[in-house]
Structure 1
């Protein structure tokens, strides 16, 4: 059985490619399991600083593989749904930034997957749509958290109640996409950003991701969380290196210590 997720390492960057181009990278059980495993592995590897997520062929991800879906009991559905949520948990709880490079279609769970990432680069002619109601579903893979966080609760509600196909540029105007680029260059731009981010202090990036998970907390609780993060970071070698580099007018070299 062919791998449904391919991994390539470039310096401190881990590139994960959904590899079902004949199905427009639709998510079946094998893909969601392999993707979760690869994400968890990359998050645990010290040498990895940034993860880039993309799709093989002409699409990012066309959503869940409808050909593998059928009416079934909740007992059978729960493990399938939890396997999908495991992917999002890996992105959100891991300490490494994840960049989505989106070309072509990102529908349903494909949109959820992209929205779960820390940065989304899309080609101008990419096509994004929530699309869940078309098959009688509400949505999963974190979209009820990630989409409102990006576009606001009211806009997210309308995008899901009245699904429409958005170009990369339209999605950027709403906040679903962080930057659009000419067709065929999303990966190039994502890698450029990844190299820039990989030079940042990894411990600080890890703390950022922890704090972002708390974005909906009560504001005063967030203040305390920020204090805790600063206290941890002030004690690191990376912080000392950053201060020294500033004083010496040179580029800092962060090691994650």
Structure 2
């Protein structure tokens, strides 16, 4: 159900099981991880400089595929710690800018895939929240972190206790994700953004990606962040794209970045 294509510096990974709303079982998680591995290898070789993740049909990803799962004997630890969390870490550390276009249901694992992506654009009518109370379970895949960080404790627990789903437009207004678009425009808008990033200064983008993660995870203060920015800039000053950017600015032309 996982498809990977690479063209013009852009890797596209597609969740293609619309008949089950792109829900993911153990095998599908393995396929998705392998697709990210292949795309990362292409990035290391210089042929991938951005990545786009999206799903086909009415939903981005409705969560875990629990068809045939016996709740009384479910290996939740094996699924979450053995499969899902390593995948999300792999996605988060992908060595190039990553984008996601998300329509319809973005729940559970589906929400986790978005949390692990750099830039997320959602359809205005996307559905986001925590319906886990209906299963006697709790929100996973990093959802508690996302909601608490962006919405605060009270709104987070309201969503969890009520199992209420909010729209993509509401999610963007609340600061959960970057932009909301009409469903019919979403994929092409996101693909265009990813394609632009694929022609940009990849090493500079990766430096910013690492800095943002460090500021978020280590709660850096202003001057600690400045020290790290200075180090990143010094390292970038030795790259070909840095030289090209300055030369293009001086010549008043568009830079032609190579990712090196």
Give the TM-score taking structure 1 as reference length.
0.89
Ranges in structure 2 where 5+ consecutive residues have no aligned partner: none
When the two chains are superposed, the root-mean-square deviation of aligned CA atoms in Å is 2.1
Q: Deviations over 1:149-179 (max 9, x none)?
A: 4445554454334431111211111112311
Q: Cα 1:44–1:154, aligned 2, differ >3 Å: closer, same or farther?
A: farther
Distance 2:32 2:174 in 1: 28
1:33 and 2:34 correspond = no
Q: Deviations over 1:180-232 (max 9, x none)?
A: 21222211111111122122100011112211221231325433332322221
Aligned-pair CA distance for 1:68: 4.2
Q: Could you tell me which of 7, 10, 16 is aligned with 1:10?
A: 7
Q: Cα 1:156–1:222, aligned 2, differ >3 Å: closer, same or farther?
A: farther
1:190 and 2:211 correspond = no
Distance 1:192 1:38 in 2: 21
In structure 2, the residue matched to 1:81 is 80
In structure 1, the residue matched to 2:254 is 251
Q: Deviations over 1:109-137 (max 9, x none)?
A: 21222232111112222222222332222
In structure 2, the residue matched to 1:223 is 226
Give the TM-score taking structure 2 as reference length.
0.88
In structure 1, the residue matched to 2:110 is 110
Aligned residues: 253
Q: Deviations over 1:40-59 (max 9, x none)?
A: 22123121111111112211
Judge which range, 122-131 or 47-56, deviates more: 122-131
Partner secondary structure for residue 51 of structure 2:
strand
In structure 2, the residue matched to 1:211 is 211
In structure 2, the residue matched to 1:142 is 142
Tell me if the contact between 2:200 and 2:259 (Cα under 8 Å) persists in the aligned partners: no
Tell me if the contact between 2:89 and 2:116 (Cα under 8 Å) persists in the aligned partners: no
Tell me if the contact between 2:111 and 2:141 (Cα under 8 Å) persists in the aligned partners: no
Q: Cα 1:153–1:234, aligned 2, differ >3 Å: closer, same or farther?
A: farther
Ranges in structure 1 where 5+ consecutive residues have no aligned partner: none
